[in-house]
A and B are shown apart, each in its own frame.
Chain A
Amino acid sequence: EAQVTQNPRYLITVTGKKLTVTCSQNMNHEYMSWYRQDPGLGLRQIYYSMNVEVTDKGDVPEGYKVSRKEKRNFPLILESPSPNQTSLYFCASSFGAGTNTEAFFGQGTRLTVV
């Protein structure tokens, strides 16, 4: 089954404790991205990757890191989480960044930083 898998689904952590949210896709997609979803703000892009070893900032990259060492994986790293990073996070993938490229989303990771 074609899918984007995120782990964990739920995470509660303390301020400053490094964490990683994993994302993996099995569709051989080149383009992957991370979004955060907050009430009243919709989906905002954090980082994206157009291919292996190619990453770039989205609209809200502060406090986040990503890496793309393999085509299928695109982990999101919070080196020193803060309470304002409490949010619902989605990973997405698509064949490319051009036209007619449906983005497939994972199930989401609900992160709480206390």
Chain B
Amino acid sequence: GENVEQHPSTLSVQEGDSAVIKCTYSDSASNYFPWYKQELGKGPQLIIDIRSNVGEKKDQRIAVTLNKTAKHFSLHITETQPEDSAVYFCAARGYSTLTFGKGTMLLVSP
């Protein structure tokens, strides 16, 4: 089955800095790569996603890049704000299942 590795497990940045979270996946058949943000006491919520036929996607301060050859994808958050503090999960979808990474706790200090 699919295996998704996510790094780092924790990331501390100062407000205004950029944050990068990286993931690798094992199944070359995976073709959809979403990123979820989980705030304390809530369920994960989709923030951005990318399909296998696209190399990069941007939505305001958030961008995701995908390298299918190397089987890795990354989340980039620019101009971080305290409200970006949360746990972030990457995931990879194959035919029938969505496999998640172990998560990254992002802490943005004012």
User: Which A residues lie at the B interface, using CB under 8 A?
Assistant: 4, 33, 35, 40-45, 48, 50, 56, 58-59, 90, 92, 97-103, 105-108
Q: Which chain B residue lies CB-closest to A38?
A: B102
Q: Which of B26-61 contact A (CB under 8 A)?
A: 31-32, 34, 36, 41-46, 49, 51-52
One of B41, B46, B51, B100 near A42 (C-beta < 8 A): B100
Known contacts A42-B101, A42-B102, A42-B103; is-contact A102 B46 (Cβ 8 Å)? yes
- Is B97 within 8 A of A48, CB to CB? yes
- As a 0/1 sequence over residues 90 to 110 of chain B, the CB contacts with chain A under 8 angstroms (1 = contact) are 000101111111110000000
- Distance A41 CA – B9 CA, assembled complex (angstroms): 11
CB-based contact B32/A99 at 8 Å: yes
Residues of A within 8 A of B100 (CB): 35, 42-44
Q: Is the CB of B46 within 8 A of A108?
A: no
For chain B, the count of residues having a C-beta within 8 Å of the partner chain is 27
**A50–B96 CA distance with the chains assembled, in angstroms:** 8
Pick the contact of B43: A44, A50, A101, A107 (CB < 8 A): A107
A106 to B99, CA, bound (A): 17
> What's the minimum C-beta distance from A38 to chain B, rounded to whole angstroms?
10
The answer to whether A103 touches B46, judged by C-beta atoms less than 8 angstroms apart, is yes
A45:B99 contact, CB within 8 angstroms: yes
| Bound-state Cα–Cα, A58 to B99, Å | 10
A51 CB, nearest partner CB in chain B, Å: 12
B97 touches A58 (CB 8 A): yes
Bound: A44/B96 CA distance, A = 14
> Which residues from chain B contact A102 at a C-beta distance below 8 Å?
34, 46, 49
What residues on A are CB-neighbors of B97 within 8 Å? 33, 45, 48, 58-59, 97
Q: Distance (Å) between the CB of B51 and the closest chain A CB?
A: 6
